[in-house]
Structure 1
Amino acid sequence: MKGGVGGGGGSSYTFHPKRRWRGFVVAVLGLVILSMLVPLIFLLGLHNGFHSAGYVAEPRNAVPRSFDHYGNTRTWNQSEDVTESLGKEAGNRTIDEDATQVSPPKRGLSAPPPVMLKPPSGTNHTKIVVEVIKSVVDESEKSCELKFGSYCLWRQEHREDMKDMMVKKLKDRLFVARAYYPSVAKLPAHDKLSRELKQNIQELERVLSEASTDAELPPQIGKKLTRMEVAITRAKSITVDCNNVDKKLRQILDMTEDEADFHMKQSAFLYQLAIHTTPKSHHCLSMRLTVEYFKSPPLDMEVQQDEKYMNPASQHYVIFSKNVLASTVVINSTVMHTEESGNQVFHVVTDGQNYFAMKLWFSRNTFRQAMVQVLNIEDLNLDHHDEATLLDLSLPQEFRISYGSANNLPTSSMRTEYLSIFSHSHYLLPEIFQNLKKVVILDDDIVVQQDLSALWSINMEGKVNGAVEFCRVRLGELKSYLGEKGVDEHSCAWMSGLNIIDLVRWREQDVTGLYRRLVQEKLSMGEESLGHVALRASLLSFQDLVYALDDTWVFSGLGHNYHLDTQAIKRAAVLHYNGNMKPWLELGIPKYRNYWRKFLNLDEQYLTECNVNP
């Protein structure tokens, strides 16, 4: 009993330390587990769920992820999102861990200010990255506009959808395939790839020979492009002689440069041809009117109105033109902006080829109460009828003047200006209109937007030619062409287009005689072209005889300048389409053409029959 008790006591004595040892072991294991879980929690980012405001940003240089509609994680494809507009630099922008701002690119566009990200709780992280990149795009556009000036504005205004994007891509792949094919063809172990490349090259060549825009491509072109890209990828993976590829690329590049040079020369030739050739529809109109003139009864009204045509009390406008439509727009726009059209007389001076067409046209069309007289310069009884060069109708001469300063700067520093002046036919005015004292000359490439009646009350202070001065070109800058003697260096050049001519002072100063002497002087010095001497002779003939009109009368440049001020165009009394791109040609600048077209009646029978639609 005692031993039992003692045994029980001994047993109790040994059991108590075991319980204490177990508790110690459990505590140690608990600490070990906690010491492992805490770092694991931080590593896995699970602590994010215990904060109500804030999130963990992606690690630096991490690739953003998104989820497809199946719930699977996939790598974010930059080519599918807005990063295309930023290029590779914008695609490599990263999110900073601490400040959560966008790191700027290493090169390229200037970096925008840091964008701080503070999304609400529960916001999807992938969407936040896209929003940041979109904000970068907007900021880049603003910085581009500030940095590069008007180019960004011009790019936005003239942005057009490319109609040959796929065609260009096919040409690019064809270019690369041609470069790799010769090297692959020399490797017997890759005959299959060689045949595949050759077949793909022939297919793309056949397709591109029949299509120049994406709309003309066959329906299966996507599969052909895919096969070509696969073949090119396999060819690039093969170890080939880089010198052969480089040589082939250079050959193709030389051929491309030669082809581009050929097309450039061809386009320049076709451009000049389009400028100096009458459009088919205009030629049709002239021929139809001429034929109809001889089929119609004779026009006797001309003889009855001779006295009205030469009445000095009327406002006389003179137009030298070979273009029916151009002269029609000039007359119509002038008449539409005047209050007293019955006092206006228009004299259209043309040549024998267009005389009958214009006679019939202006007999069929009326311009309120204004009268129109058509004159054939070849039938006029003039004192200088034996001088054939002065009797052939010539229109106002247009010149593109390039010059530098007196310091003989290189060609890249030269300035270019467009100038239009009188032709040889203009110097016959005193003989053609012997009974008139004053006329207003209108070029056939102008549009009138305001009443011109105020021109007749201007006091020209004894000058002969009232014109808008063109002070961007001064006679002193043309000394090498005009000559050193008798030139006022500070005098401005003047422009034709709208000119008031005092015929009385013209005859007193014998401007016609002076002009002819200057022409003969230049021709005797070996000048080949009569047109080349017109600039010098005209500028010197009217030196000190030009009355400067206000600049608001005429606004020039609509035939060559794409960047004119729209508000200045609307304020001008006369628009002058000086330059090669006339509004009645397909080469005309589209945004200026409507100012000219609205004064043309496109419903007229002959315009419809000849498909005239400038």
Structure 2
Amino acid sequence: MEATIARAKSFPVECNNVDKKLRQIFDMTEDEANFHMKQSAFLYQLAVQTMPKSFHCLSMRLTVECFKSPSVDMEHSQADKYSDPILHHYVIFSNNVLASSVVINSTVIHARESKNLVFHVLTDGQNYFAMKLWFFRNTFKEAAVRVLNIEQLNLKYHDKSTLLHLYLPVEFRVAFHSVDNKPTTHDRTQYISIFSHAHYLLPEIFPSLKKVVVLDDDVVVQKDLSALWNLNMVGKVNGAVQLCSVRLGQLKNYLGDSFEKNSCAWMSGLNIVDLVRWRELDLTETYRRLVRQVSLGEGSTEAIALHASLLTFQDQIYALDGAWALSGLGHDYGVDIQAIKKAAVLHYNGNMKPWLELGIPRYRLYWKKFLNLEDRFLSECNVNS
């Protein structure tokens, strides 16, 4: 040991060299950690935005089967209901066969009367034939289901490029400081879901209808919704649940100063829309004008849609009781179970949709129970959710 120590002492090492070497190791470790964090975030976003393989299989199998099947008129028996303003019309924008099916199935199961229900599913050309065959093969009591290819609609203001890229409801992730009456502040994250560009075509797509209920495809209905049609909206256009945990003043970095800072954000997911009043105010043209104005500045497509939508419906929101819809099931692990049981509609806004493996397990069962897992195509594509 003495010989070893003596030999070590004969080779003195400068402290500066040791410090430099340790700093190099630290920098290399930090760079590697940052790389893995970015890679993890990228892979998470990829998993969120990519359609599961089994769902892609289902869409392809249904499309092939639709073209193989004998030519039949899949809508002839219910055609007289599609434009009848007396009936209860629901609109769903979706490119997900099973998600839209769960929305319709859960709505019909909890409805007191199904014969008055008409569902209009608006999808893109890629998923149109799969949707058409699925809703032809599956019945929902006496409710009528109509599938429309939004890319083929002959509308006066039809902008195909816009519809191809952004027709689903827009989910906007916002982060802001929250005090919560505590001495320290912390960052909060919320997902605000709003209408997309295609929603502003509703008065043109359904010229004979007076009211519609718009449902996002990431909701589950737990109670009868017929009371929505009897609401007196006192001249307002859009009946929506407000998200008062987010005040517009907290979104100043996203929206600027054009809003009342104490106003609550409103959410899509469940919306009762007065199309007559919409046409009177020409909100579609208002929205397009605002989009053009906001587009002159910098910002993403989602930010432009958020800003223009909130401005378009400023002073035109009829606040629904919070019990109508409960949001947060796609990102918040702390949603109260009792609140879930009492809500008429559950909204899975956020990245963790219930049809993804990333979905929050304790909330997925509320969605899964409205799937018909015995369907032949679901079995062939190994869709077990």
Shift of 1:565: 0.8
Q: How does 1:16-165 map to 2 (within 5 A)?
A: none
Q: TM-score, normalised by structure 2?
A: 0.89
Shift of 1:253: 6.2
Shift of 1:422: 0.6
* 1:611 aligned residue (370, 379, 382): 382
Match of 1:114 in 2: none
Shift of 1:324: 0.4
Q: Deviations over 1:223-243 (max 9, x none)?
A: xxxxxxxxxxxxxxxxxx9x8
- Residue 71 of structure 2 aligns to which amino acid in structure 1? P
1:574 aligns with 2:345: yes
Match of 2:9 in 1: none
Does the 8 Å CA contact 1:350/1:393 hold for their aligned counterparts?
Answer: no
Q: How does 1:92-491 map to 2 (within 5 A)?
A: 256-386=29-159, 388-390=161-163, 394-404=167-177, 413-485=186-258, 487-491=259-263
Distance between the aligned counterparts of 1:484 and 1:555, measured in 2?
29
Task: Name which of structure 1's ranges 260-269 and 372-381 shifts more when overlaid on structure 2.
Answer: 260-269
Structure 2 unaligned residues grouped into runs of 5+: 6-12
- Residue 585 of structure 1 aligns to which amino acid in structure 2? L
* 2:319 aligned residue (548, 557, 561): 548
Distance between the aligned counterparts of 1:574 and 1:276, measured in 2?
24
Does the 8 Å CA contact 2:85/2:208 hold for their aligned counterparts?
Answer: yes
* 1:530 aligned residue (301, 312, 337): 301
The Cα RMSD (Å) is 2.7
1:599 aligns with 2:370: yes
Shift of 1:414: 4.3
Distance between the aligned counterparts of 2:119 and 2:337, measured in 1?
30
**Greater fraction helix:** 1
Aligned length: 373
Distance between the aligned counterparts of 1:491 and 1:442, measured in 2?
23
Match of 2:287 in 1: 515
- Residue 202 of structure 2 aligns to which amino acid in structure 1? L
Q: Deviations over 1:242-273 (max 9, x none)?
A: x8999998877665544433322211110011
Does the 8 Å CA contact 1:430/1:506 hold for their aligned counterparts?
Answer: yes
Distance between the aligned counterparts of 2:284 and 2:343, measured in 1?
31
Shift of 1:442: 0.5
Shift of 1:389: 1.7
Structure 1 unaligned residues grouped into runs of 5+: 1-183, 189-240
Does the 8 Å CA contact 2:174/2:251 hold for their aligned counterparts?
Answer: no
Q: What secondary structure, in the 3-state scheme, does the structure 1 residue paired with 2:115 have?
A: helix
Distance between the aligned counterparts of 1:302 and 1:558, measured in 2?
34
**Greater fraction strand:** 2
Distance 1:435 1:259, change over 3 A: same
Distance between the aligned counterparts of 1:480 and 1:393, measured in 2?
23
Shift of 1:458: 1.0
Distance between the aligned counterparts of 1:246 and 1:479, measured in 2?
45
Does the 8 Å CA contact 1:377/1:393 hold for their aligned counterparts?
Answer: no
Distance 1:403 1:254, change over 3 A: closer
Q: TM-score, normalised by structure 1?
A: 0.57
Task: Name which of structure 1's ranges 384-393 and 599-608 shifts more when overlaid on structure 2.
Answer: 384-393
* 1:500 aligned residue (237, 250, 272): 272
Does the 8 Å CA contact 2:254/2:303 hold for their aligned counterparts?
Answer: no
Shift of 1:507: 0.4
The alignment-based identity, stated in percent, is 70
Does the 8 Å CA contact 2:172/2:302 hold for their aligned counterparts?
Answer: no
Does the 8 Å CA contact 1:391/1:425 hold for their aligned counterparts?
Answer: no
Shift of 1:345: 0.7
Does the 8 Å CA contact 2:352/2:359 hold for their aligned counterparts?
Answer: yes
Q: What secondary structure, in the 3-state scheme, does the structure 2 residue paired with 1:476 have?
A: helix
Does the 8 Å CA contact 2:151/2:160 hold for their aligned counterparts?
Answer: no
Shift of 1:299: 2.6
Task: Name which of structure 1's ranges 288-297 and 391-400 shifts more when overlaid on structure 2.
Answer: 391-400
Distance between the aligned counterparts of 2:97 and 2:91, measured in 1?
14
Shift of 1:482: 3.2
- Residue 444 of structure 1 aligns to which amino acid in structure 2? D
Distance between the aligned counterparts of 2:155 and 2:247, measured in 1?
35
Distance 1:257 1:291, change over 3 A: same
Distance between the aligned counterparts of 2:248 and 2:36, measured in 1?
38
Distance between the aligned counterparts of 1:324 and 1:355, measured in 2?
10
- Residue 146 of structure 2 aligns to which amino acid in structure 1? Q
Distance 1:264 1:530, change over 3 A: closer
Distance between the aligned counterparts of 1:392 and 1:414, measured in 2?
31
Larger Rg: 1
Match of 1:225 in 2: none
Distance between the aligned counterparts of 1:511 and 1:451, measured in 2?
29
Distance between the aligned counterparts of 1:380 and 1:611, measured in 2?
34
Does the 8 Å CA contact 2:78/2:144 hold for their aligned counterparts?
Answer: no
Q: Deviations over 1:403-430 (max 9, x none)?
A: 3489xxxx97444322111111100000
Shift of 1:601: 1.1
Match of 1:228 in 2: none
Distance between the aligned counterparts of 1:470 and 1:549, measured in 2?
11
Distance between the aligned counterparts of 1:477 and 1:564, measured in 2?
22
Q: Deviations over 1:32-89 (max 9, x none)?
A: xxxxxxxxxxxxxxxxxxxxxxxxxxxxxxxxxxxxxxxxxxxxxxxxxxxxxxxxxx
Q: What secondary structure, in the 3-state scheme, does the structure 2 residue paired with 1:419 have?
A: strand
Bigger relative contact order, structure 1 or 2 (CA pairs below 8 A, ≥6 apart): 2
Q: What secondary structure, in the 3-state scheme, does the structure 1 residue paired with 2:85 have?
A: coil
1:584 aligns with 2:355: yes
Distance between the aligned counterparts of 2:250 and 2:37, measured in 1?
32
Shift of 1:610: 0.8
Distance between the aligned counterparts of 2:281 and 2:321, measured in 1?
24
Distance 1:404 1:529, change over 3 A: same
Q: What secondary structure, in the 3-state scheme, does the structure 2 residue paired with 1:305 have?
A: helix
Q: Deviations over 1:97-142 (max 9, x none)?
A: xxxxxxxxxxxxxxxxxxxxxxxxxxxxxxxxxxxxxxxxxxxxxx
* 2:335 aligned residue (521, 539, 564): 564
Task: Name which of structure 1's ranges 472-481 and 571-580 shifts more when overlaid on structure 2.
Answer: 472-481
